[in-house]
Amino acid sequence: MNPAPVSLEDLFGGPIIGPVRDPHSVYRRLRREAPVLPVAMGPQTAWFVSRYDEVKEVLRNDDLFSNQSNAKGVSLVMGRTIIEMDGREHLKHRNLVTPALAPRALKGGFPKRVREIADEVIDRFAGRGNADLVAELTFNYPLRVFTEILGLPLEQLEQFHHWAIDLTHVAQDPARGLAAARKLAGYLLPLVQARRAEPRDDLISRLAQAEVDGERLSDEEVVSFLRLLISAGAETTYHLMGTTLYALLTHRPVFERVVADRSQLRRVLDEALRWDCPVQIVTREAKSDLTLLDVPIPAGAQLIVGVGSANRDERQFPDPDRFDPDRPDAEHIAFGFGKHYCAGSRLAYLEAEIGLEALFDRLGTRLRLAADPECGIVGVAFRGPNRLPVGF
């Protein structure tokens, strides 16, 4: 493979925010020929890391690799959040926000309400005999749950959809992403201020009231974290559910088994996360000059961390392209690793489990994937099925 820097678009045959169909053949070649590959990021050179051990080390080692890289990317629209923080600052903010996302903070009637939302969404197509499970379930159900968690009016759902999508396009269309960030801030800031004055039983109130060592998040910090949740949280569950359904519907024996025995659902979700994780790449920044697999990387350089590639590294996972929930000790890193492990992962699992169980309860093994040449898993930055046409 040519070691001269190439753009990510050239590497994957299209924009990484677009419908790239097969990044795995690229990952496979990178792992074999150039596991630390220089890539062109505008006028700068970054390094794409593709093997499991090195990806895990970059995610784990805060002494060598910083999250400051995110300040130059997604933080342009999200604002300053824990995803760009290191060390004590990261720990303090994580201790402020993580308890508000823990299932115990959302217990009581929360799982029951999430199930009610799932049933309301499924009601719209259950009597019809056919549906596109992406457009009609996996895309809108997670955001419906988020509007419930945040205590937002349901009529804002479609608008939040548009804003969340626009945020993710900041690299390709900065004006679009920044406009969405401003509109979200304009909508959320008065709500945060109102919840400080009169707290309710919702996530905005818990974030506004959270306190660690006498410190609270500022209004702007709460708004920034909410923007991150609306975009990353909804996108993660959306693609996790879609990929899991695609895997099950194309592996009928596994599908029939998990419908009959729901105790296997978590293993299925974990294998879906390994097999084709919702977020395929994240970034880090080298804190000092270093060498990775004999490749010199200068201080300040950006590393593009191939989580999706690492999860299919043949050195870690035998027959990695096979979807197999019975894999022994299959430690995926779809939610990251170490101190920056995804703070909302447990919420994502809970939403996905409840939503899929509702679908299985209602339609079960009657679900059949319809023939459609356009149906498939696509994307790199965010990856999941583009459509899931089914009959039942």
Task: Report pLDDT for 2.
Answer: 47
Task: Report pLDDT for 181.
Answer: 87
Is residue 1 one of the residues assigned to a domain? no
Task: Report pLDDT for 362.
Answer: 97
**Residues with Cβ < 8 Å from 257, sequence gap 6 or more?**
264
HSE-up (13 A, CA, CB side) for residue 371: 0
Is residue 363 one of the residues assigned to a domain? yes
Task: Report pLDDT for 318.
Answer: 94
**Cα–Cα dist 139/234, whole Å:** 8
The separation between CA 131 and the C-alpha centre of its own chain, rounded to angstroms, equals 24
Is residue 244 one of the residues assigned to a domain? yes
**Cα–Cα dist 150/191, whole Å:** 10
User: Which residue type does 320 have?
Assistant: P
Is residue 104 one of the residues assigned to a domain? yes
Task: Report pLDDT for 107.
Answer: 63
Q: Rounded to the nearest 5°, which phi and psi values hold at 306?
A: -80, 75
Q: How far apart are the first and last CA of the chain?
A: 47
**How buried is residue 3: exposed, middle or buried, by Cβ count under 10 Å (0-12/13-18/19+)?**
exposed
| Contact (Cβ atoms closer than 8 angstroms) between residue 254 and residue 325 | yes
Task: Report pLDDT for 373.
Answer: 87
Is residue 283 one of the residues assigned to a domain? yes
**Cα–Cα dist 205/216, whole Å:** 12
Q: At 105, which CATH number?
A: 1.10.630.10
Total domains in the fold of the chain: 1
Task: Report pLDDT for 143.
Answer: 85
**Cα–Cα dist 46/40, whole Å:** 6
Q: Computed over its alpha carbons, how large is the radius of gyration of the chain?
A: 21
Task: Report pLDDT for 195.
Answer: 92
Would you write out the chain's pLDDT as a tens digit for each of its 392 residues?
545 688 999 999 988 888 999 999 999 999 999 999 999 988 889 999 999 999 999 999 999 999 888 767 666 677 787 777 888 888 877 887 777 777 666 666 788 989 999 999 999 999 999 999 999 999 989 988 888 888 887 777 778 777 877 887 776 778 888 888 888 889 899 999 999 999 988 888 888 888 767 788 889 888 888 888 877 767 789 999 999 999 999 999 999 999 999 999 999 999 999 999 999 999 999 999 999 999 999 999 999 999 999 999 999 999 999 999 999 877 899 999 988 888 888 889 999 999 999 999 999 999 999 999 889 999 998 899 999 999 99
**Cα–Cα dist 107/121, whole Å:** 21
User: Which residue type does 210 have?
Assistant: A
Task: Report pLDDT for 23.
Answer: 97
**Cα–Cα dist 95/92, whole Å:** 5
Task: Report pLDDT for 75.
Answer: 66
CA-based torsion, 107, 81, 340, 32: positive or negative: positive
Instruction: Count Cβ atoms below 10 Å from residue 342 Cβ, excluding itself.
Output: 18
For 41-52, the DSSP string reads ETTEEEEEE-SH
Give the range of the structural domain holding residue 51, as residue numbers without chain letter: 6-391
Is residue 256 one of the residues assigned to a domain? yes
